[in-house]
Amino acid sequence: MSTPFPTLATKHDLEHGDVLAPRFDAAGLVCAVTTHADTGEVLMVAWMNAEALRLTLETGEVHYFSRSRNALWHKGATSGQIQMLVEARIDCDQDCLLLKVRPQGDGGACHTGARACFYRVIENGRLVERP
């Protein structure tokens, strides 16, 4: 599978170098944890393929890859909840992204209409909705 990102030869280059070389999994995806740039709230966790990452970095609007639809997904294109990228980070071994965003629209991130996807707390083995 060809990507616009290089593969680095050494662990040192991967962990300490200045080259972005995401380590996509066997399905061609990398995990992306998305937080609100101003509050730090975790909004959602999604997946990106090389095209989604490239478009995100080029446009400043976050794109993901929908595993359920098997398709590129421009977050907010239909709902108005576009996520404007403020900062993108990658973890030490380049297999997980941290995206700091400013949500547009009414600020929601979840397809259920909730502000964030983590709107339920586990209490005594049951799920309880909490803001």
Range of the domain at 96: 11-129
Whether the pLDDT of residue 83 is over 90: the answer is: yes
pLDDT in tens, 108-125: 898 888 889 999 999 999
Whether the Cβ atoms of residue 53 and residue 59 lie closer than 8 Å to each other: no
| Inside any domain, residue 2 | no
| Inside any domain, residue 34 | yes
Whether the pLDDT of residue 96 is over 80: the answer is: yes
Other beta carbons less than 10 A from residue 111's beta carbon: 10
What's residue 1's pLDDT?
54
| Inside any domain, residue 108 | yes
CATH number at residue 104: 3.10.20.810
pLDDT in tens, 47-64: 999 999 999 999 999 999
Would the pTM count as exceeding 0.85? yes
| Inside any domain, residue 82 | yes
pLDDT in tens, 10-47: 999 989 999 999 999 999 999 999 999 999 999 999 99
What's residue 2's pLDDT?
64
| Inside any domain, residue 1 | no
| Inside any domain, residue 5 | no
What's residue 131's pLDDT?
79
DSSP states of 85-115 as a string? EEEEEE-TTSSEEEEEEEE-TTS--STTS-S
Provide the number of structural domains found in the chain.
Answer: 1
What's residue 51's pLDDT?
97
| Inside any domain, residue 61 | yes
| Inside any domain, residue 38 | yes
